[in-house]
Amino acid sequence: MAVADELLAFVRDALARGLEREQIRDALARAGWQSDEIARALAAFADVAFPIPVPRPQPYLSAREAFLYLVLFSTLYTSAFYLGALVFQLIEAALPDPADSADLAEALVRWAVSSLVVAFPIYLYVQRLLARAMAADPTKRASRVRKWLTYLTLFVAAAMLIGDLTTLLYNLLGGELTLRFALKSLTVGAIAGAVFGYYLWDLRHEEVEPTE
């Protein structure tokens, strides 16, 4: 998310007049600016001794960065989907339905395991690469593609949780709640909840410890 031009101009002028960062932060907060907006505006200028405010290099979207984030989130979605599919098959194996095809179930298990073995290690590897890059250059946390894909992931996970709870309640009220269905519903809720919780924590952690 870009910082408003008027906010950047205000911070630059205030720093040029010799005001402390905490004074600027308090004044902007009282004026109604959000804490993350204030943090980004202050982080745009280096905290160095110089007669005028020194701008920091601004993050930009590179093709490599976009590629890595697309790989990261696509492997996350793949891993989450096939983990759920694998747990579903284990539930159906423990609570079999005579109408289910054994050959189809075996094929689904093999496909789910194969997908997890490939996708999840790639997700962990790319996550590690990006974490190292952000540790070396904290401004990379402000990446637009990262923010967009993170919020998209939160939206998808929240939609899954809402749909899962709605379906669970519908079947419960209709007296059609079976053990198999309840376990599958819990599986969807656990996976979607874990993804939602992790990325929400990541965003909140970023707001609590802004880069300055």
pLDDT attached to residue 11: 93
pLDDT attached to residue 207: 60
Nearest to 2 by CA among 138, 151, 131, 148: 148
Query: How many residues appear in the chain?
Result: 212
Bridge partner list, 65: none
Mean pLDDT by 10 residues, the chain (212 residues): 77 92 94 88 86 78 88 97 95 81 82 96 96 81 86 97 95 88 95 96 71 44
Is the CB of residue 195 less than 8 Å from the CB of residue 76? yes
Distance (Å, whole) CA 110 – CA 13: 62
From residue 180, alpha-carbon distances to 99, 164, 165, 166 in Å are 14, 14, 15, 17
Q: What phi and psi, each to the nearest 5 degrees, are found at residue 45?
A: -120, 135
Distance (Å, whole) CA 91 – CA 208: 41
From residue 95, alpha-carbon distances to 91, 174, 186 in Å are 6, 21, 15
Domain chopping of the chain, boundaries: 5-55, 63-208
